[in-house]
Structure 1
Amino acid sequence: MLQIVYQSDELVAINKPSGLLVHRSPIDKRETRFAVQELRNQLGQYVYPLHRLDKPTSGVLVFALSSEAASFYSKQWQENTVSKRYLALARGFAPASLHIDYGLRLEEDKGAGIAAGEEPQEAITDINSLAYYSVPEALDRYPQTRFSLVECLPLTGRKHQIRRHLKHIAHPIIGDSRHGKGPLNRACAEYFGAGRLWLHCQRMELLDRDGEKLVLQAGLPEDFVEILMQLKGFEVSDE
């Protein structure tokens, strides 16, 4: 059963687990589980996803409960007025804080019939490093392996934006099979006993019908809490 973190007459938000597609997609034709269908069955009514969340990403996923509500609330995502906070576990010691303004081209997706874009689209992400860890194991090229717990605040909504921006600054997210480092991902999965994309949408803020701020939050899943507990003993004060 999906964990519901907020529900009203118009909206419902869940804490989407990693590995669950939002809806049926040519990206993974063999997949049989979808958040839309599971939530529909759970609530006994149709639901309308208001935004996307990558299959391997966990966290806040918001649905409208009517087509009219979907039309009203989806505009906030289209206009980039929804405030979003993600947590990511990244390779190396990321900058303490950084404003990333780096345009992204539309990625090719042959399964969905999408061609790569020629012109970069505006893409902006603010990041803040919350903790640094130095593990005394050669999981990468060095005798010790460094990690950062990074707060990511995307100000635009491009596909894979956070993943691509962290790759751009040479601090890819651990477990990112597309934009990360395969050997490091596999070594980390074996060392920590868990493998996934370590990216979680922790909070979203939008406006309700009355213009009041609506804060939707999703706690870290158990596997994310566990890996941070394992890393706790290797935390260092700064870079």
Structure 2
Amino acid sequence: MPDSAPQRFPGRPGDWVLYKDNQLIAFNKPAGMAVVPDKKKSANLLQIGAAYAHHDLYPIHRLDRPVSGVVLFGKKSSAQASVSTQFQERTVTKTYLAVVAERPEQDEATLVHYIREGKGNTSEIVDQSDPASKRAELSYRYLGSSDRYHLLEIKLLTGRKHQIRAQLGAIGSPLRGDTKYGFKRANEGKSIDLHAYTLAFDHPISGARVELKAPLPEGVVWEAFGGIVGL
């Protein structure tokens, strides 16, 4: 059944557009919105974006529902295939910003864990010997602190389900609001403070490097870090 009380999101679809041409369109997805239709049958960016663009859209990558930031769609299946191949070949670069309550012991490090799918739509850290496990690697860098929280820059080196969430939880620095991975309290609207900040790829026609940046979400926690990231 559809959600009885649809969630409201800031602004209008046109306000979320970060980039568009005849091949591609990118949005700054609000936290709490699904990228594609799911069993909850609630608002999703694919359908909202297609209605805004008056054009069928083709998903290239996804973000978890509670996460905000850059999401790219193809306007043509050929554009979708081209950029999807870049994701597979790891020539796409992605940067995330993460707000955590516990500052990691090291200000900069590369994390390597082994992850498998867990119960209740989670991923769990397991031993490398587990036959169902997949290697997960990311690098992080401490950027600064507010009165209560700390900001990390995250670069994914692999792309596993809930990877950032599980790996930060494993080192004792769960994302603010992420009760699945160790934070004590949920955020309003069940969002988590993880933002897909930048995305860079080669344009499927021109080959030119396209670099996209998504403004930070609204709210006092993110606003406290605006000066740190130059916004």
Kindly indicate whether the alpha-carbon contact (under 8 Å) linking 1:105 and 1:118 is maintained by their aligned counterparts in 2.
Answer: no
Deviations 1:71-90 (A, max 9, x none): 12111112222110000101
Partner of 2:61: 51
1:208 maps to 2:219: no
Q: 2:175 aligns with which of 170, 173, 176?
A: 173
What runs of 5+ residues in structure 2 fail to find an aligned partner? Answer: 1-11, 122-129
Deviations 1:7-59 (A, max 9, x none): 11111100000010011123xx2x42110000111111100110010001000
Q: Number of paired residues? A: 204
Kindly indicate whether the alpha-carbon contact (under 8 Å) linking 2:151 and 2:225 is maintained by their aligned counterparts in 1.
Answer: no
Kindly indicate whether the alpha-carbon contact (under 8 Å) linking 1:174 and 1:180 is maintained by their aligned counterparts in 2.
Answer: no
- CA displacement at 1:99 relative to structure 2: 0.5
- CA displacement at 1:194 relative to structure 2: 8.3
1:100 maps to 2:94: no
Q: 1:127 to 1:231 in 2, by over 3 A?
A: closer
SS of equivalent residue, structure 2 residue 143? strand
Q: 1:107 to 1:80 in 2, by over 3 A?
A: farther
Deviations 1:149-174 (A, max 9, x none): 01010111101111111011110001
SS of equivalent residue, structure 1 residue 103? strand
With structure 2 as the length reference, what TM-score do the two structures score?
A: 0.81
- CA displacement at 1:101 relative to structure 2: 1.4
Moved more, 100-109 or 72-81: 100-109
With structure 1 as the length reference, what TM-score do the two structures score?
A: 0.78
The residue type equivalent to 1:217 in the other structure is K
Relative to its length, the structure with more helix (as a share) is 1
Give me the identity figure in percent.
30
Q: 1:163 aligns with which of 145, 157, 165?
A: 165
Deviations 1:120-154 (A, max 9, x none): 2121100001013444xxxxxxxxxxx31010101
Q: 1:221 aligns with which of 209, 214, 217?
A: 217
What runs of 5+ residues in structure 1 fail to find an aligned partner? Answer: 111-116, 136-146
Q: 2:86 aligns with which of 76, 87, 105?
A: 76
CA RMSD of aligned residues (A): 2.3
SS of equivalent residue, structure 2 residue 82? helix
Bigger Rg, structure 1 or 2 = 1
